[in-house]
Amino acid sequence: MNHLVWFRNDLRTLDNTALHEACKGDRVIGVYCFDPRHYEQGPFGFLRTGQYRAQFLIETVTALRKNLAELHIPLFIYQAKPEDVIPALVQEHHINALYYQEEWTSEEATVANAVKAVAGTISFYTSYDQFLYHPEDIPYSSTGAIPRVFTGFRKKCEKYSKVRPVLEKPRPMVPVNSIPNPTVIPQLQDLGLPAVKEEARSAFPFMGGEDQAMARIKDYFWHSKKLQFYKRTRNGLIGTDYSAKLSPWLANGSLSARTIFREVKKFEQEVTKNQDTYWLIFELIWRDFFKYISLKHGNAIFQQGGILQKQYDWEISAEKLKQWIRGETPEPFVNANMKEIAATGWMSNRGRQNVASFWAKEWQQDWRYGAAYFESLLLDYDVHSNWGNWMYNSGVGNDPRDRKLNIARQAEMYDAQGKFQRLWLQESLF
């Protein structure tokens, strides 16, 4: 049996259900598409994928191709729509079954349906592989029963759900006659994007790819052992080690949540178990929660009223949008964070909450423009977490208290000496 793995946001060989199942066949090939639609301008005026995330993705796909080659699995790479290239692969390589990770947000689901419609009479095997707690294992009868408030979800899952074991890398396939693969990985200029400039101030100077993700875990967990201080330092702003910084690899699936969970549990057994080690798992459950919220509410997460369908008098000022993006607001703390993301594609968790609160609550501007800007720039853009967090911070999502941050007070608490603000405000980036 000849199997094809369609890689999407699961760009890894370790703990990959689609790849694991496909390797039960006689011969396996893989395909990844740099879908042109992902590099177009979106409805809010920003490129859907900017240069930072695209460069990280190029590095990730390069690593995936190498790791698959070690398993004797060729990876075909196209700068094309999946529905335009998969049928030819199916026919040319006599594919019997297509394996891929299930995605449910509307654009991804539309593409999957388009592939199914043209792929011919083959079998399709999908898997929900992006969760910590698999949908079949959570203590809810349906996604409709997912609670609105995170705490209830977390406590119930922690009590009644188990995290599935990590699937090890498949054994190398039996080498067969060489399959010609003339496809090449596009570079930024091929995608119509500018080059990424090196930035010495970046808090995320890492490269994409599965091997780099595991190297980061090795360093943060096992060499520096900074995991044991994670909760105490996670609201930091400067440097590589105030947080685990695993989210960009999680976002494109070059690292799985289950792998992180396994490593945390091992660390707790061999080094120490405390509130800090637990807090990384706590954050993974938050990530799951936003995925289940989008499963439950569908396209409501992209609508102005959010999942609450709550109406505010939102405005959108082109001048304010420009000021916010350029870091020219009345709040230096907001400005420093906005200059950081513009120069690096990274922003701390604390920074994200403050710039979102300022945009949506202080200036009362349409929150979706902020979410779309983040989608374009963030290295760790994840559709569920990004739009879920923006709803949360804007009063149309899962925050039962609808809080508004006191940004001057936040700056005093988290940048008391002004080091972060001086780092990013010392010179203009524009």
Name residues whose C-beta falls within 8 Å of residue 226's C-beta, 6 or more positions apart in sequence.
220, 233, 241
CA dist 299 and 279 (Å) reads 30
Do residues 254 and 333 both lie within one domain?
Answer: no
317 within a domain of the structure (yes/no) = yes
Contact 214/260 with Cβ under 8 angstroms? Answer: no
Question: Left, alpha or beta for 310 (phi > 0: left; psi -120 to 50: alpha)?
Answer: beta
pLDDT at position 427, please? 62
177 occurs within a structural domain: no
User: Does residue 248 share a domain with residue 223?
Assistant: yes
Strand bridging mode 75-78 / 97-101: unpaired
Contact 2, 120 (CB under 8 A): no
In degrees rounded to 5, what are phi and psi of residue 98? -110, 130
Tokens of 391: 């709803």
Q: Taking a C-beta distance cutoff of 8 angstroms, is the pair 10, 103 a contact? A: no
**153 and 69 together in one domain:** no
Q: Is the dihedral of CA 46, 47, 50, 51 positive or negative?
A: negative
State the Cα–Cα distance between residues 29 and 19, nearest whole angstrom.
Answer: 10
270 and 254 assigned to the same domain: yes
Q: Which of 139-153, 251-265, 271-285, 391-405 has the lowest mean pLDDT?
A: 391-405
Which single residue is written with the structure tokens 């090939």?
29
Regarding whether 404 and 310 lie in a shared domain, the answer is: yes
Instruction: Return the residue matching tokens 């890398």.
Output: 169
Whole-number pLDDT of residue 400: 73
pLDDT of residue 430: 40
Give every CB contact of residue 260 below 8 A, 6+ residues apart in sequence: 217, 246, 250, 280, 284
Residue type, 421: Q
Q: Label residue 166 exposed, middle or buried (CB < 10 Å: 0-12, 13-18, 19+).
A: middle
Quick check: helix, strand or coil at residue 194?
coil
Higher pLDDT, residue 180 or 34 = 34
155 is written with which tokens? 């406590």
Q: Assign residue 320 the CATH number of its domain.
A: 1.10.579.10
> How do residues 59-77 score in pLDDT, each as one tens digit?
999 999 999 999 999 999 9
CATH number, position 104: 3.40.50.620
In this structure, the answer to whether residues 276 and 383 fall within a common structural domain is: no
- Classify residue 380 by its DSSP letter: T
Kindly state whether residues 262 and 323 are assigned to the same domain: no
HSE (CB half, 13 Å, CA atoms) of 218?
6
What is the rounded distance in angstroms from the CA atom of residue 416 to the CA atom of residue 406? Answer: 14
Q: Binning pLDDT at 50, 70 and 90, where does residue 43 land?
A: very high
Indicate whether 84 and 45 sit together in one domain. yes
pLDDT of residue 429: 44
Same domain, 123 and 141: no
* Phi/psi at 125 (5° precision): -125, 115
Instruction: Give the separation between CA 236 and CA 242, rounded to whole angstroms.
Output: 5
Whether 18 contacts 5, CB under 8 Å: yes
Identity at 233, one-letter amino acid code? T
Q: How many folded domains does the chain comprise? A: 3
* 148 and 274 belong to one structural domain: yes
Residue 191 lies inside a defined structural domain of this protein: no
Domain of 217 in residue numbering reads as 135-162+203-297
In a domain, 180, yes or no: no
pLDDT, mean over the chain: 96
| Whether residue 176 has pLDDT greater than 90 | no
In a domain, 183, yes or no: no
Query: Which pLDDT belongs to residue 179?
Result: 85
Give per-residue pLDDT as tens, 322-381: 999 999 999 999 999 999 999 999 999 999 999 999 999 999 999 999 999 999 999 999
Q: Quick one: pLDDT band at residue 31, thresholds 50, 70, 90?
A: very high
Task: Give backbone dihedrals phi and psi of 382, rounded to 5 degrees, phi first.
Answer: -130, 125
Q: For residues 316-322, give the mean pLDDT.
A: 98
Last residue of a domain, one of 111, 129, 147: 129
Report percent pLDDT > 70 for the chain.
Answer: 99
Q: Which of 129, 152, 185 is the last residue of a domain?
A: 129
- Find the Cα–Cα–Cα–Cα dihedral 16, 21, 25, 30, rounded to 10°: -30
pLDDT confidence of residue 399: 84
* Cα gap 369→387, rounded to integer Å: 11
- The kind and range of the H/E element at 11 are none
> Dihedral, CA atoms, 339, 345, 347, 349, nearest 10 degrees?
150
Is residue 25 included in any domain, yes or no?
Answer: yes
pLDDT in tens, 121-153: 999 999 999 999 999 999 999 999 999 999 999
pLDDT digits (tens, 9 = 90+) for 64-113: 999 999 999 999 999 999 999 999 999 999 999 999 999 999 999 999 99
**Domain boundary at 235, 266, 297, which?**
297
Alpha-carbon separation of residue 224 from 218, 272, 276, 368 (angstroms): 9, 13, 14, 39
Residues 156 and 103 in one domain: no
Distance of CA 295 to the CA centre of its chain: 16
Domain for residue 346, yes or no?
yes
3, part of any domain:
yes
What are the tokens at 420?
């972060």
Is-contact 78 182, C-beta < 8 A? no
Q: Write out the DSSP string of 241-289.
A: SSS---HHHHHTTSS-HHHHHHHHHHHHHHT--SHHHHHHHHHHHHHHH
**CATH at 290:** 1.25.40.80
Same domain, 76 and 155: no
Question: Is-contact 230 194, C-beta < 8 A?
Answer: no
